Amino acid sequence: MGKLDGKVAVVTGAARGIGREYAHRLAKLGADVGVIDINLKSYEEFSGEDIGKEFETVVDELKSLNVQAVGFEADISDEAAVTNAFQRIQGTLGDVDILIANAGGGTGAITENAASEINPDQLEIVLKRNFYGTVYSVKSVVDQMKKKKYGKIVTVTSVTGLKASDTGTYSHYAATKAAIVNYTKNLAQDLGQYNITVNAIAPGYIGTGRLLEQFEKAGKESYENETALKRLGTPEDCARVIEFLSTDLSDYVTGTVIDVTGGLLR
């Protein structure tokens, strides 16, 4: 018996990286899982994300864990495409109990987009991907959650949404992640009456296939030393918190942000 037997979860941006680990964790707990990603084979872009020859996508990996799984390609910043993907998931797996609105990311180098020099075109892309994408995902599940009087919504912010960087760069991304924090808190107030919890996870330096390449290039040790725990985080570190926020362990927890940063915030 898994804690999430009979539940349906959707993880956006789960074709690789931290989202893929979230999907694995929820499936191992017994949930049927729907995946939405702009590219279900995005793992091919980074050797550290290799999923082996046995599986074509994360959806096959999930099925091998003896749960039902489906995946649809959609750009999370396109409302009609998002609505359609959620409808197709609901049509196959049933009403969604758990939403992990994980799809997101920045543009350009981390040395660019200083707060005084934000590139408006990049800001628009990142705002749509991170903030609008989260809003569209929530809107796609919230009516049926209200009807069922049950739901667990987890949004994904970042340490950059909670504090400024030393240099004030990558601030376009940071501002959109900060917007998600405030949205999460308001959403928790709005949906509490329906027994729907809404919380955010704020990862720090997490060693995904994509970021490990960047950390190695820039000198991994300096990132490790910034943390209290003197190591990078792993997708598993984040998935453990998702387990907490998706199960009854967090039934009286709403409107919070849990930072999974190894102590970057001080």
Residues that bind ligand NAD (CB under 6 A): 13, 15-19, 37-39, 42, 75-77, 102-105, 129, 156, 158, 203, 205-206, 208, 210-211
Nearer to ligand NAD, 203 or 262 (CB): 203
Residue by residue, DSSP assigns 113-127 as --GGG--HHHHHHHI
CB of 78 vs ligand NAD, minimal distance in Å: 8
Nearer to ligand NAD, 6 or 263 (CB): 263
Residue 197 forms beta bridges with which residues? 152
| Three-class DSSP labels, 156-199 | ECCHHHCCCCCCCCCHHHHHHHHHHHHHHHHHHHHHHHHCEEEE
Nearer to ligand NAD, 149 or 240 (CB): 240
Nearer to ligand NAD, 30 or 78 (CB): 78
- State how far the Cα of 11 lies from the Cα of 33, in Å rounded to an integer: 7
Q: Give the residue among 207, 239, 205, 204 at the shortest CA–CA distance from 48.
A: 207
- To the query of whether residue 150 is one of the catalytic residues in this protein, the response is no
CB of 197 vs ligand NAD, minimal distance in Å: 20
Task: Tell me the one-letter amino acid at 250.
Answer: S
Residue 199 forms beta bridges with which residues? 154
CB of 148 vs ligand NAD, minimal distance in Å: 26
CB of 183 vs ligand NAD, minimal distance in Å: 14
Q: Give the residue among 187, 174, 26 at the shortest CA–CA distance from 113.
A: 174
Q: What's the first-to-final CA gap in the chain, in angstroms?
A: 40
CB of 103 vs ligand NAD, minimal distance in Å: 4
Nearer to ligand NAD, 57 or 254 (CB): 57
Exactly one of 173, 183, 205, 223 is catalytic; name it: 173
Task: Tell me the one-letter amino acid at 150.
Answer: Y
- Give the length of the chain: 266
Q: Give the residue among 141, 131, 135, 101 at the shortest CA–CA distance from 14.
A: 101
Both tokens of 163, joined, read 């504090």
Catalytic residue numbers, as ranges: 173
